[in-house]
Structures are given as C-alpha cells and as structure tokens.
Amino acid sequence: MATTEIRITGFGGQGVILCGYIIGKAASIFSDQHATLTQSFGPEARGSACSAQVIVSSDPVLYPYVTAPHVMLAMSSDGYQTNKDTMAEESILVYEMDLVKPDKHGPKVKTFGIPATRIAEELGRKIVLNIVMLGFLGAVTGFVPQEALRKAVESSVPSGTEELNLKAFDKGYDYGVQLKKEKAKMTV
C-alpha cells in the first residue's frame, strides 16, 4: 500500500487549490490511483492564507485529511511557517525559493527549491507559477507519472491557455530533473 500525503500552501490567487485538484485528477483519472482533496482558505478571495491537502494512494483512501504530509509544496512564507512542523519525519519540501526561506530540517527531510515566479514571468504570465511548481513537484517526487500530470493540466486549465500552461509545466519539470541530477552528483 503506497500512500502519499501532500500539503500545498500559499495564499489566495496563487492557484493553490487548482494545483491540488490537478494532482488528484492526475492520480485518480490518468494514473489508476485513488485520491482525495480537502481545502482551506480565508474569507478573502485573494491574499489570504490558503492550503490544499491531497492524499494519493494505490488503495482506496478511507480518511481524507492529511495528518503528517510526506510532501509539502510551499508557495508562500506564511504557508510554510504555519505548516512546517506538521511534516512527516521523512518527507520532501518543495518550495518557491524567492518567496520561502526554509528553516533547517532534520536529516530525513529532502528540500528542493525553484524560482517558479521568475520562470512564470519569463513565460509572460506570473499566474502560471502554480503550474511551474506542479511540474517541479512531479519531477522531484515521482508519485504521479509525468504524462498523467500533463494530461490533468491540459484538461483542467481555462480554454485557450493550455499551451502556456503545458510550457509552464514542462519548464518546472525540466528544472526538477536537472536539480535532482545535480543533487545526485553531490552525494556520490
């Protein structure tokens, strides 16, 4: 039984909930897994704390709430600070390196940072930050296959933005593949 608990944090307007939705869709529709999504956000539409919790499993998910995430994706400093102590002892932290400055974690926590906002701006739309992060997350964790995530992105974003969002996904994914190669060389 392989189960992965994921917490995505940020603020309203960053596409946190969409990111969680895409992960769940990729797992359950395009990858023959089971998934649940719960979400939390403040009363404001934009700018308030926001989080999505996703559980991906090879077996049916009987309890939909994340208790100790194996993976945390942090797109804001506040989201990271609020949730950093909930991570499992052995976990992966994926963060937006221009917005989040992670604390020192235990030796079993792997950390991966990406300048996702800068990459999104280079693509011409800062709003695809979440999709850059999603591609990066897919590359460094591997819990949902790349092609399943791409299909979920393509079928979940607004009509007419598919090409831009797939470029954003690919940029994030490629950055993650390269970073993993670099980290592997450093540990040899």
Spell out the per-residue pLDDT of the chain, length 188, in tens: 489 999 999 988 899 999 999 999 999 999 999 999 999 876 555 667 789 999 999 999 999 999 999 999 999 999 999 999 999 999 999 999 999 999 998 889 999 999 999 999 999 999 999 999 999 999 999 999 999 999 999 999 999 999 999 999 999 999 999 999 988 888 76
Q: Tell me the CATH number at 148.
A: 3.40.920.10
Structural domain range at position 181: 3-187
Give the chain's domain count: 1
Per-residue pLDDT, 48: 74
Per-residue pLDDT, 43: 58
Termini Cα distance of the chain: 31
Per-residue pLDDT, 169: 98
Residues whose CB falls within 8 Å of the CB of residue 176, separated by 6 or more in sequence, listed in order: 112, 114, 135, 136, 137, 138, 139, 140
- The first and second tokens of residue 16, run together, are 């946190």
